[in-house]
């Protein structure tokens, strides 16, 4: 999986550069770049130490084997690799919480010293951003391993009993989906209009206020590219197709489809958090200009809105996949 790992890292690196540029930050500022790189390496070292003292070091290293060697691994080894990735993901999450807590403590202790506030916030933002990047890599690798496990355990079952839906059934399924999300959208708008108060010059009722193409690209494109890199592209779109058509699938197919949909959910979520962190980090540069602070914070937060909407849709797709399995 070494090729998939390197491609995943390349996609995330390019996405990070894109996000930094569109948020107004400097990509290769010598002082900040070296400082950021040191922090990222330290987070990786801490993660690596925990992986090896836990006893998961040997199976975790097998992630970086060649595709030929990986395809020859036994089921027990694959399950051990999956467990090692799950463990690494949990450690990474606790790392993020720890450094956010440290940064928060120093932020409030030095509250009266305005010159240091941006520096304290940078620790919170950067550590969270880097951990999100690590989580995306881990979830991508886990999805690849899980697909291999599913294929290993798949029974020699035919799909002869797969039920074919008529055009009418497909239209009815699509209509149900449209009605459900229209109702949800209406309820969300009602809550926002009645439980928030806006006295700024920004009119949130205008849909263009919520549209930000760079944010949408940053949230969606990395997820699609990582699907392609890890061989999950076909499973993802077949899963969407099965839900729309209401086709019944066997357990192994359903598991593969749900695995692909699940990893997209996580990648979209973590990508949005990285985008928010990049935006907030850029906002720190303009703390003195209070007039642009609010609009900049809003634009920086928009990726999370997109991620939540996409996650709710994909979560519903996962639930429907459970119902269409035989």
Query: Which residues in the chain come in under a pLDDT of 50?
Result: 30, 156-161
How many Cα atoms occupy the beta-carbon half-sphere of 283 within 13 Å?
A: 21
Q: How many Cβ atoms are within 10 Å of 311's Cβ, its own excluded?
A: 16
* Residue 323 and residue 173 in contact, taking contact as beta carbons nearer than 8 Å: no
| Res 156: pLDDT | 44
| Res 116: pLDDT | 67
If we measure between CA atoms, which residue out of 210, 326, 301, 316 comes closest to residue 265?
A: 316
| Res 224: pLDDT | 93
If we measure between CA atoms, which residue out of 208, 235, 246, 27 comes closest to residue 147?
A: 235
Rounded Cα–Cα distance for residues 235 and 256 (Å): 6
Rounded Cα–Cα distance for residues 25 and 103 (Å): 21
Q: How many Cβ atoms are within 10 Å of 62's Cβ, its own excluded?
A: 17
Rounded Cα–Cα distance for residues 250 and 150 (Å): 12
Name beta bridge partners: 325.
249
Rounded Cα–Cα distance for residues 65 and 243 (Å): 35
Query: What phi-psi label fits residue 202: left (phi over 0), alpha (psi between -120 and 50 degrees) or beta?
Result: beta
The residue assigned the tokens 């996580």 is 266
Q: What is the pLDDT of residues 96-116, one digit of tens each?
A: 888 888 877 777 777 777 666
Rounded Cα–Cα distance for residues 214 and 81 (Å): 35
Q: Where are the domains of the chain?
A: 2-324
């Amino acid at each position: 999986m070494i090729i998939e790992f390197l491609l995943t890292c390349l996609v995330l690196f390019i996405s990070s550069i894109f996000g930094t540029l569109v948020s107004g930050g400097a990509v290769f500022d010598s002082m900040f770049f070296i400082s950021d790189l040191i922090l990222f390496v330290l987070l990786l070292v801490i993660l690596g130490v925990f992986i090896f003292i836990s006893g998961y070091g040997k199976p975790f290293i097998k992630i970086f084997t060649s595709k030929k060697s990986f395809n020859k691994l036994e089921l027990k080894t694959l399950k051990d690799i999956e467990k090692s990735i799950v463990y690494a993901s949990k450690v990474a999450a606790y790392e993020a919480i720890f450094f956010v807590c440290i940064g928060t403590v120093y932020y409030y202790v030095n509250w009266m010293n305005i010159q240091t506030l941006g520096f304290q916030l940078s620790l919170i933002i950067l550590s969270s951003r880097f951990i999100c990047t690590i989580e995306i890599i881990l979830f991508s690798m886990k999805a690849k391993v899980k697909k291999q496990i599913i294929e290993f355990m798949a029974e020699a079952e035919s799909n002869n009993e797969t039920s074919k839906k008529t055009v009418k059934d497909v239209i009815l399924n699509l209509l149900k989906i449209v009605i459900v999300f229209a109702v949800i959208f209406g309820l969300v708008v009602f809550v926002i209009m009645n439980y928030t108060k806006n006295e700024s010059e920004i009119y949130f009722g205008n849909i263009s206020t919520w549209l930000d193409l760079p944010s949408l690209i940053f949230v969606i494109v990395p997820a699609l590219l990582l699907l392609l890199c890890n061989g999950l592209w076909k499973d993802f779109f077949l899963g969407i197709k099965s839900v729309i058509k209401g086709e019944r699938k066997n357990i192994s197919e359903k598991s593969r489809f749900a695995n692909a949909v699940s990893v997209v959910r996580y990648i979209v979520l973590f990508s949005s958090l990285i985008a928010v962190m990049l935006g907030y980090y850029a906002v720190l540069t303009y703390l003195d200009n209070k007039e642009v602070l609010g609009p900049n914070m809003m634009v920086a937060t928009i990726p999370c809105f997109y991620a939540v909407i996409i996650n709710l849709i994909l979560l519903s797709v996962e639930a429907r996949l459970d119902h269409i399995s035989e």
